């Protein structure tokens, strides 16, 4: 039986409702989060990649697949490739005038993604949240958030392996009298906090719902407020850390702040 991947599902939903902006946004969110296998002309050399670029009627395109087996099926022979996330690949191609052929001829999600769409995705994914300092006066049950936002948070946080123990979505009131929603992470790794805040912002952006904003904060399990988060909040359990890289080195594209060099 042929596997249906998350990109297949998001692609089908997008084409089933061509006028639905939310469905289109969810497809691009899955594209950014997904691991892709980029066809190369030769083996990667450090952080330098040489993708195979094809001249088509609509412009230049690289080829990427969401499964190694799909790349092998398309090529039909051994070929060099690099595994990297869609967000890293979009950053690498941004400004180059090069689009992406995704799963061409080998999957239901076969599509040509033009260069300007990749540039938009790269810009959207590089947006950093603002930092503010506010003192919390009251925690409550979260109300009023659309289900699409909660679903987007659940999907996004499922990709944050090993970043934190859990997250709680709560209603919040600040000492200045303002109200809102807060996503509180418990036992988050310090080096992962910026990425977690960014992930929450992306979930809101790609939900397709005009839902204002969600604040993000970080707490330790022993903090007094954590008991209130657990009492009133909607809990999201984050996956445990991935298995360590036994090879002892980082593959191209594994550092989101240092995308591979296109050559």
For residue 210, what pLDDT is reported?
63
For residue 247, what pLDDT is reported?
45
pLDDT tens-digit profile of 202-233? 888 888 766 567 899 999 999 999 999 999 99
Q: How many angstroms separate the CA atoms of 208 and 19, rounded?
A: 12
For residue 259, what pLDDT is reported?
54
Mean pLDDT of 133-142: 90
CA angle 238, 240, 241 (to 5 degrees): 125
* pTM (predicted TM-score): 0.75
Question: How would you classify the pairing of strands 81-85 and 35-39?
Answer: antiparallel
Average pLDDT, the chain: 87
- The structural domains of the chain, ordered by start, are 6-126+249-262 (no CATH), 136-232 (3.30.70)
The answer to whether residue 190 scores a pLDDT higher than 60 is: yes
pLDDT tens-digit profile of 112-123? 999 999 999 999
Task: State the burial class of residue 199 (Cβ atoms within 10 Å of its Cβ: 0-12, 13-18, 19+).
Answer: buried
């Amino acid at each position: 039986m042929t596997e249906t991947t998350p990109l297949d599902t998001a692609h089908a939903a997008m084409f089933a409702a061509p006028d639905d902006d939310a469905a289109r946004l969810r497809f691009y969110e899955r594209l950014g989060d997904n691991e892709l296998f980029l066809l190369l002309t030769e083996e990667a050399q450090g952080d330098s990649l040489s993708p195979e670029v094809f001249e088509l009627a609509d412009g230049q395109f690289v080829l990427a697949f969401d499964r190694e087996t799909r790349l092998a099926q398309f090529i039909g022979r051994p070929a060099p490739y690099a595994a990297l996330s869609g967000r890293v690949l979009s950053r690498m191609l941004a400004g180059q005038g090069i689009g992406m052929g995704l799963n061409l001829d080998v999957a239901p999600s076969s599509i040509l993604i033009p260069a300007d769409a990749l540039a938009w995705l790269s810009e959207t994914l590089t947006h950093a949240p603002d930092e503010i300092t506010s003192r919390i006066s009251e925690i409550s049950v979260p109300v009023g958030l659309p289900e699409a936002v909660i679903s987007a948070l659940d999907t996004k946080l499922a990709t944050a392996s090993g970043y934190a123990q859990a997250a709680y979505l709560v209603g919040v009131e600040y000492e200045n009298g303002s109200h809102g929603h807060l996503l509180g992470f418990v036992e988050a790794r310090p080096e992962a906090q910026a990425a977690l805040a960014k992930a929450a912002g992306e979930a809101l952006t790609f939900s397709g719902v005009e839902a204002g904003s969600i604040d993000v904060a970080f707490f330790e399990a022993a903090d007094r407020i954590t008991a209130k988060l657990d009492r009133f909040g909607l809990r999201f359990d984050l996956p445990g850390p991935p298995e360590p890289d036994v090879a002892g080195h980082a593959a191209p594209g594994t550092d989101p702040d240092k995308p591979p060099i296109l050559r």
